[in-house]
Amino acid sequence: LIQTTAYEHGGNIDQVAKRFKLDLRAILDFSSNINPLGIPKPLQEMFLSNLDRLTRYPDPEYRTLRESIARYLNVPPSKIIPGNGASEIIFLLLSTLKPKNLLLCAPTFAEYENAAQAAAVNVRYLTLSEDNEYQLEMTKLIAILEKVDCILLCNPNNPTSTLVAPEELRGLLEQTKRKRVNVIIDESFIELTLAGNRNSMVPWLESYENLFIIRSFTKIFAIPGLRLGYGLGAPQYIEKMNRNKLPWSVNAMASIVGDYLFQSHPFFEKTSQWLVTEKSWLFEELQKIVSVKAFPPQSNFILVKIVSSQLTTTELQNKMAANGVLIRNAANFRSLNEQFFRVAVKDRVSNEHLIRLLRKELGE
């Protein structure tokens, strides 16, 4: 059986394949939120034709990679630090900024809490309300500002798939600037929202030195195994983070992604066409299943609550897994419970399969 531990993430498909004696290639993984278009073809070719890079150390300053990201987002390279996934940046940021009191939303990505613990940072929680469909309530957030010196927001938020608009975040930055509170925004899924980079706060880095942004190539380019993310912030903090960082933590293969960015436009277009249709299709189909409630998604994943069934999420998860379909048990997210699960949006054929199996297992 699948047992969810406090540290379990989605996408642990090797373990599930072994446990249920399934063929790895036959598993439909809705538990990790990765672009179903897969690794862009030109990027795959670049990996294969650049194997010789593995015989050399990467540039410890990652100048070429930083310049590529700089051009991609129109920020100076001095504000960019590449990381071994967004995860390294999360840990590095908290251990460098060392806030006394950090505000996190609940539910949100669990690694923030782990990173806070590793950096001995005290955490306060702002519980997002189910009645409000987990939308961030800015007035509530602003009311807690006096009690913290740093806020870490996930935008769009994992696992709720809610998004705070840039205008609203601008207001927050004004308030926090005056109160000397740092704001970290994890935009790991930003390219997987309909407006993509137009939802990003990157353009505001110039105006707010208390703003830090975490980004990832993991989700958009379907490369969770490669490990590539980056942090953005004022140069003096980026320098500090560089001093705290393990040398060469981003491998030479990962840094090739920078070279691909210049030609990534058609892939972003294709991704956007898929997302706009499949996100609403899957959401609408989930809404038709009466024993669950699906929360409106702003990104490529959907939070779902079992509202009228005898099944717990773990039971449903196991029944689905026995049929080769993985869903993300969301019970281990702070403030959620054994009624919640999360599914990624995939291609139409896979999404149809998910809906059919959910209906069957829920007795509909």
Ligand X SMILES: Cc1ncc(COP(=O)(O)O)c(C=O)c1O
Where does this chain bind ligand X (CB under 6 A)? 85-87, 109, 154, 158, 186, 188, 216, 218, 224, 229
Q: How far apart are CA 328 and CA 24, in angstroms?
A: 17
Cβ 229 to ligand X shortest distance, Å: 4
Phi and psi angles of residue 286, each rounded to the nearest 5 degrees, phi first: -65, -35
Chain-centroid distance of CA 355 in Å reads 24
- Report the residue number, 85 or 289, with the smaller CB distance to ligand X: 85
CB of 114 to ligand X, least distance (A): 12
Structure-block tokens of residue 58: 């990467």
Distance separating alpha carbons of residues 237 and 103, to the nearest angstrom: 20
Residue closer to ligand X, measured from CB, 155 or 361: 155
Q: How far is CA 185 from CA 17, 93, 285, in A?
A: 35, 11, 31
| Least Å from the CB of residue 69 to ligand X | 14
Smaller CB distance to ligand X: residue 326 or 362? 326
Least gap, CB of 264 to ligand X (angstroms): 17
- Pick 12 or 64: Cβ nearer ligand X: 12
Q: Rank residues 188 and 255 by Cβ distance to ligand X and give the closer one.
A: 188
Measured in whole angstroms, the distance separating CA 298 from the mean position of its chain's CA atoms is: 12
Is 33 or 350 the residue whose CB approaches ligand X more closely? 33
In angstroms, how far is CA 326 from the centroid of its own chain?
18
How near is the Cβ of 291 to ligand X at its closest, in Å? 27
102 and 150 Cβ atoms separated by less than 8 Å? yes
In the bound complex, which residue of the shown chain has the CB atom lying closest to ligand X?
A: 85
User: What's the DSSP call for residue 58?
Assistant: P
Which ranges in 218-325 belong to alpha helices (H)? 235-244, 257-260, 265-287, 313-322
CB 361, min distance to ligand X, A: 25
Task: Work out how close the CB of 5 gets to ligand X at its nearest, in angstroms, rounded to a whole number.
Answer: 16
Q: Judged by CB, which is closer to ligand X: 113, or 186?
A: 186
Sequence-separated (6 or more) residues with CB below 8 Å from residue 312? 306, 331, 338, 339
Q: Name the minimum Å distance from CB 158 to ligand X.
A: 4
With respect to ligand X, which residue has the nearer C-beta, 99 or 107?
107
DSSP string of 203-232? GGGGT-TTEEEEEESTTTTT-TTT--EEEE
- Other beta carbons within 10 angstroms of residue 213's beta carbon come to 26
